[in-house]
């Protein structure tokens, strides 16, 4: 059985994967807006790196924003 930290880490990895899947469906312009919000000023970063370096506490809101964009 996995311990709590392993389960928590697996959870956040999955959240990031789902966020990236959603961003793949967005337009280039929409992804640029996402980078402006979450890339901490470095718009040259690949989207994967932006998502992978986001604080966990921002992922829920980011998921909601991407879902609203897709809806």
24-64 confidence digits (pLDDT tens): 999 999 999 999 999 999 999 999 999 999 999 999 999 99
pLDDT of residue 1: 63
Question: Mind listing the pLDDT tens digit for each residue in 4-16?
Answer: 989 999 999 999 9
- For residue 39, what are the domain limits? 4-70
C-alpha distances out from residue 16 to 1, 26, 29, 42, Å = 23, 15, 20, 19
Helix H or strand E encompassing 45: none
Total tally of structural domains belonging to the chain: 1
Whole-prediction pTM value?
Answer: 0.88
State yes or no: pLDDT of 2 exceeds 80: no
Give me the residue label for tokens 């986001």: 54
């Amino acid at each position: 059985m996995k311990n709590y930290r392993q389960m928590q880490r697996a959870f956040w990895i999955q959240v990031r994967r789902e966020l990236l899947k959603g961003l793949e469906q967005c337009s280039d312009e929409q992804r640029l807006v996402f980078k402006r919000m979450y890339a901490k000023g470095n718009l040259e970063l690949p989207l994967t790196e932006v998502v992978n370096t986001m604080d966990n506490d921002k992922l829920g809101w980011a998921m909601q924003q991407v879902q609203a964009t897709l809806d």
